[in-house]
Structure 1
């Protein structure tokens, strides 16, 4: 059997070709194996005449078995002779196969090759952060909304009011699945329903019944996409949002330590926002430095490995979508996602993730950033102090997830190294 080996970065393509006596002999051998398994009335197993066996055995099956018998043997020998480290399932592509000739390729993914670029002395400017009075007011309004109550309203529903409704949907006067609910609480203007539904409920009153007509978006689930539907809606109650008044009494109800007045509360909100903005800015700067380290490196990753990883991500995505009761095809249509573009996007995502992981690992290897027993014990002591626990109890609690603990601790050590060696 002839073979040709072509190496391209972290991928090897092995081309196998055979013909003549070798290929004929392989087919004969596999034909005899299949013949020995035949059960034909009037003949003992293994004693079926060749002409009768030939009538019952699919020639394509003989070629298939002969292909794998020859290629598996030669592939294993090639991997051993060339001292190749294979990290994924090889990809077989048959380019020609018939009774006279076989030609195929086997694509093999090798470990990625990482070459670090500059990873020290990278300058990313520290950006100042500030908190404005508007920021404080916005945050306080969020808290007021979190403590809001809904009060029954006698008047007609307005935008941002909440209505308690029963509804039932029809297409061509026939009810459709998923188009009915009772006692549904809907905030008008929330855009929780398809376009036009909430708008047509503005002005509705308690005990009023309305018919509204909407058209489903063209990228909706297949059986409803683009169709016009009629909904019969019965309103039971209209409620409006009532916000608490910002005053010392409201502040005291929050039960914040040493905070009793509005002025004290505003100062705390401002300090908390400033701390959060500073933390976010520090994390953004850290991520920019790490991205620069990754960009400065070159990593050769086998295309077949990227495709496998991308397909695995899509499979996980599909399982998650379908676990929520939605067909994956419908999900793609609703979100206007093309299958080919999805795979291409996932390949880019896989390349970025794999490259980032490998570059970080290479920096850690080169700089001897490892989690030893002392670093692990120090972490356990830190957590014990934080949660007011005994060190041994922390150790026992985290033991089932020790690999995750080690990974997180290594990442913390890497982060400290990055910040210490880059301005």
Structure 2
């Protein structure tokens, strides 16, 4: 067998694997052995014992075009397995042509293209740390104060800041979705829920009825609410003093400043974690825009063909075509999707290799602890799920690698610090001007 490289287009190499007369004789024997192993039936011969010449006479050109060609392809694939290629796609058998005199197998090798990426072109945004931490501390103090509010029953109308206890019934037609469930609502001006708005001005013993309509496709769904006011409470909020903080009985916390420091430390941990995730998302979104890649159109076309084949196999192709309006638009969208994905994957891989980034057991454990609450399981159970499910493990490993890569790239990126308070102020001024 002789190997020739006949062309190269960017990242695609076309090879011919040539088979001479002696190779063909060897392949004939392998093809016959395979046919007999499968008990190919020919009248007058015992299954598994059919001579080569009989197969040649019976199958004619198909003996070489199909069965000898199959054996040749197997040998080519074994040879390819010995080589250490960095491929985007599995090798593609583009053609196989065989006769009794010789033959060839044409192979497309879609190698990983070189990607150019300049991390200094990344533009990241981050919220002002002090502003965020101050806001977090204020929020936690407000929560603690409200959590320890003293409730005093009142006979008057419910007003801003009061807590209203109700029995709530919700009906959809004749069906009761909730039946006199006890619920509590604090009346706050920023709460846009209709049920809260309806309780302003109500007293103990009042019954409130209202409807809420929602569009679902061409249909309108109407829910009927019945609220029986059981009690209205005036909330008396404690003052935020050292005495109040002591009454909370938090270990090693006795003053307002110590409690603020505790909340600030909590907020800093959350801020750092969410900032890292924000950087990861921003960087991953920008990689494809600022990367350059020399990739053959043939690779993109082959990849899209594979995606479409998978969609058809899963019975999803027609719905995708319908969503995009035509096959042409779907194909174009899949090309863009694949190109962006490849750019991102290659850049992440390149940075990971250059910095010897690995994912170890401790990384998996830390990830499991973080997502366990979201998954509704214990950290140990989350870790077990990740380890037992290869598909989930692959996603987790990729996310961890991306996070580590993003941490490195963020050090070289352009970072803009943003004040959300100033943005809110500007938005309010703009709104006032328009009004």
Q: TM-score, normalised by structure 2?
A: 0.48
Q: TM-score, normalised by structure 1?
A: 0.49
**Greater share of helix:** 2
